[in-house]
């Protein structure tokens, strides 16, 4: 958005209104997310009613929450009531408790009931993210009866659930298949060949992955008795996956997820999210310091070994981080599971060995020319061993974390690097002690 609303004089408001009229709802929502809440409210009031509702639906829940708080007028209830029940549930999670209660209380009874049902499911569950279904087809009906029912209710998804008289899920029907079927075709004849569904208490990421991998437009959500509760639509599934990947990216970088837009987060919030991890990593770094103290006498006798310490621990940390990133991503998309731990270890130790041999071969002649062959052999062999060990650690820890119910991304780059730093030094000095024993003894 151009430099609008800085002073909010009449010319700026006219310019802003002209700019808003030329943009799509998606573009407007993107630009509103970059403004402060009070400026969002000013720009939002320049939109006509229909456009405002469309833009509001495209905003992320944190921005929706900020905008509703900034508006504080009768328009708030209308905006809140205009979005789907699953979007209302996500928005209420971003609102202060008192504001959320007031918004929920002001909803029409049917909308309030639908939203309250979703809020009753655990956070991050499929039930919390689903859209309640009001239109289902009966397996006993035919094409004409089904289309008439859809037309009377005035709403339908691209795929429509089919249930029995007890609302137990039988399958899904593509609306396109139903429309193009011959007259009188039973609904049961146009059911999709595969019956996908998730339970309401299943993890939302698992459900979203299923939508993506099975190329579904909507995924049925059922209770323990297989009765239909709602649908997880493809657009909601993509948003869930985006949120999960954002969370993994934050944790892989050694900080807690923001859970709010970067530009609207306060400096204190940013520091708090990062500071906790830095404290943990500082204390973990004491492992490296302790190792250095243990081998202090060796370093004093062969000073040249200290020159290569940064390279050794850096190489190990980088190799471990690469392995951890690969395994965390493979876990996220269900390519590997905790039960595959030994397969992963065997694969990673070979990858690490090959990397170590390659790097050692590159380093050996350079170090041999600058110092002497024994130092070069020590460094090269240490790199081979440390790369192998780092890949084992980086590949194994995310799987162990997943088995323990901890987010695997927590055991990615920062944690793996810190652990490999300390253990890598032990490997380095042990190899140096074996290869350069005579020099160490002579220096002593």
Residue 80's alpha-carbon distances to 28, 90, 237, in angstroms, are 19, 11, 21
Look at residue 334 and give its three-state secondary structure.
coil
Reading the block at residue 411, the tokens are 């055991």
The pLDDT, as a whole number, for residue 7 is: 46
**DSSP state letters, 95-120:** S-HHHHHHHHHTS-HHHHHHHHHHHT
pTM tops 0.75, yes or no: no
The pLDDT, as a whole number, for residue 145 is: 87
Taking every pair of C-alpha atoms in the chain, what is the biggest distance, in angstroms?
97
Helices of type H across 261-336 = 267-294, 296-301, 304-307, 309-332
Work out whether strand 159-163 and strand 137-138 pair parallel, antiparallel, or are unpaired: parallel
d(CA 429, CA 440): 11
Angle between helix 49-58 and 25-32 (nearest 10): 60
Backbone dihedral angles phi then psi of residue 222, each to the nearest 5 degrees: -125, 165
Backbone dihedral angles phi then psi of residue 342, each to the nearest 5 degrees: -75, -35
Domains of the chain: 1-122 (1.25.60.10), 132-253 (3.10.580.10), 267-443 (1.10.357.20)
The pLDDT, as a whole number, for residue 359 is: 95
Give me the sheet containing 169-174, strands edge to edge: 137-138, 159-163, 169-174
The pLDDT, as a whole number, for residue 385 is: 95
d(CA 67, CA 413): 36
In sequence order, what are the beta bridge partners of 65?
none
The pLDDT, as a whole number, for residue 442 is: 65
Mean pLDDT by 10 residues, the chain (444 residues): 50 76 86 80 82 85 81 72 82 76 81 85 90 84 86 77 89 89 88 90 92 90 92 91 81 73 77 78 75 75 81 89 87 86 94 95 92 89 95 91 80 76 88 78 62
**DSSP state letters, 367-394:** HHHHS-HHHHHHHHHHHHHHHHHHHHHH
């Amino acid at each position: 958005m151009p430099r609008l609303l800085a002073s909010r004089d009449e010319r700026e408001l006219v310019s802003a209104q002209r700019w808003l009229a030329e943009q799509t709802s998606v573009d407007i929502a993107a630009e509103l997310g970059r403004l402060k809440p009070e400026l969002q409210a000013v720009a939002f009031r320049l939109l006509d009613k229909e456009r405002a509702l469309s833009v509001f639906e495209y905003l992320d829940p944190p921005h929706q929450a900020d905008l509703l708080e900034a508006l504080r007028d009768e328009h708030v209830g209308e905006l809140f009531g205009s979005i789907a029940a699953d979007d209302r549930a996500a928005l209420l999670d971003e609102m202060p408790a008192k504001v959320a209660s007031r918004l929920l209380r002001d909803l029409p009874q049917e909308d309030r009931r639908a939203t309250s049902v979703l809020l009753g499911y655990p956070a991050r569950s499929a039930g919390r993210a689903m859209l309640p279904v009001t239109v289902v087809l009966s397996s006993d009906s035919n094409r004409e009866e089904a289309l008439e029912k859809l037309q009377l209710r005035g709403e339908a998804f691209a795929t429509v659930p089919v249930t029995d008289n007890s609302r137990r899920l039988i399958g899904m029907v593509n609306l396109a298949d139903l429309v193009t079927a011959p007259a009188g075709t039973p609904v049961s004849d146009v059911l999709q060949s595969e019956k996908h569904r998730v339970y309401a208490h299943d993890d939302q990421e698992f459900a979203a992955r299923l939508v993506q991998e099975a190329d579904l437009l909507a995924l049925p959500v059922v209770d323990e008795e297989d009765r239909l509760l709602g649908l997880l639509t493809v657009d909601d599934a993509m948003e869930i996956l985006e949120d999960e990947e954002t969370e993994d990216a934050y944790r892989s970088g050694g900080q807690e997820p923001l859970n709010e837009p970067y530009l609207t987060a306060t400096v204190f919030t940013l520091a708090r999210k990062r500071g906790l991890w830095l404290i943990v990593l500082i204390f973990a770094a004491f492992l490296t310091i302790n190792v250095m103290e243990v081998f202090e006498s060796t370093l004093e006798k062969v000073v040249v070994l200290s020159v290569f310490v940064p390279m050794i621990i850096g190489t190990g940390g980088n190799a471990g981080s690469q392995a951890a990133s690969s395994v965390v991503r493979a876990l996220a998309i269900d390519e590997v599971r905790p039960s595959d731990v030994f397969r992963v270890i065997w694969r990673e130790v070979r990858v690490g060995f090959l990397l170590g041999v390659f790097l050692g071969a590159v380093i050996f002649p350079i170090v041999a020319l600058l110092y002497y062959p024994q130092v070069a052999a020590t460094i090269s062999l240490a790199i081979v061993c440390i790369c192998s060990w780092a890949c084992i650690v980086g590949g194994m820890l995310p799987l162990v974390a997943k088995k323990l119910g901890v987010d695997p991304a927590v055991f990615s780059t920062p944690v793996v690097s810190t652990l490999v730093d300390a253990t890598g030094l032990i490997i380095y000095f042990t190899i140096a002690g074996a290869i350069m024993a005579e020099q160490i003894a002579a220096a002593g």
